Amino acid sequence: MTETMGRRERKKAATRQALADAALELFLEHGFDAVSIRDIAEAADVSTTTLFKHFPSKEALLFDMDTDLEQALVAAVRDRATGTPLVQALREHMLRAQALKSEYDEQITAFQRLVTSTPALVEYYRRMWMRHERALTEAIAADTGAPADDPACAALAHLALEARSLAATAPDRVAAVNAAFDLLERGWEAVRGAEVRSS
């Protein structure tokens, strides 16, 4: 039974990946607006019904790792090694990102150009990023015992995510992430120190 479930899950994952790959290839070749759901389903050799079982919208096809990214962000805070400072764990998580690796430069540039040139994708990306920010804020707040809407936790989540966006256009992306986190680390420690002193 477990083997059957494993095979079924692998098949679902393979179909999902085939759809995401076909969508990206078609979007890059023809532009997002010129490609239909039917085009993508045909390229992946599945029905449109199957496509919608895996992705709720055309935009979601382009951000197929969305849920995994959010879970990984939360896990970077929640599941970090004992004794690892919070900001250090976030820095290490951001530095592992594929977007910082030079071998992916060409794909990342093409992907960013596609997103920024398509209003529907810009809006989808903005909503997705805000959701990640909320999830990260809640994880930081839970970790520190602060209220879920704590402004310091929200600021740290926002700025930690922005560090990667800042790095996207920097000549040395790793140095840019490290510079941003050097500032965040000092600021977070100062804020937390002040809170401890005043409590």
- What is the pLDDT averaged over residues 101-128? 86
| Whether pLDDT at 4 is above 60 | no
Report whether pLDDT(68) > 90: no
Share of the chain above pLDDT 70, in %: 91
pLDDT above 90: residue 136: yes
pLDDT of residue 87: 95
Q: Report how far residue 43's alpha carbon sits from residue 78's, in angstroms, rounded to the nearest whole number.
A: 39
Alpha-carbon distance of 138 to 94, in angstroms, equals 18
Q: What is the pLDDT of residue 5?
A: 56
Q: DSSP of the chain, one letter per residue? A: -HHHHHHHHHHHHHHHHHHHHHHHHHHHHH-TTT--HHHHHHHTTS-HHHHHHH-SSHHHHHTTTHHHHHHHHHHHHHTPPTT--HHHHHHHHHHT-GGG-GGGHHHHHHHHHHHHT-HHHHHHHHHHHHHHHHHHHHHHHHHHT--TT-HHHHHHHHHHHHHHHHHHTSSSHHHHHHHHHHHHHHHHHHHHHHHHHH-
pLDDT for 197 beyond 60: no
pLDDT at 170: 80
Note the pLDDT of residue 44: 94
Amino acid 48: pLDDT = 95
pTM (two decimals): 0.81
Q: What is the pLDDT of residue 64?
A: 84
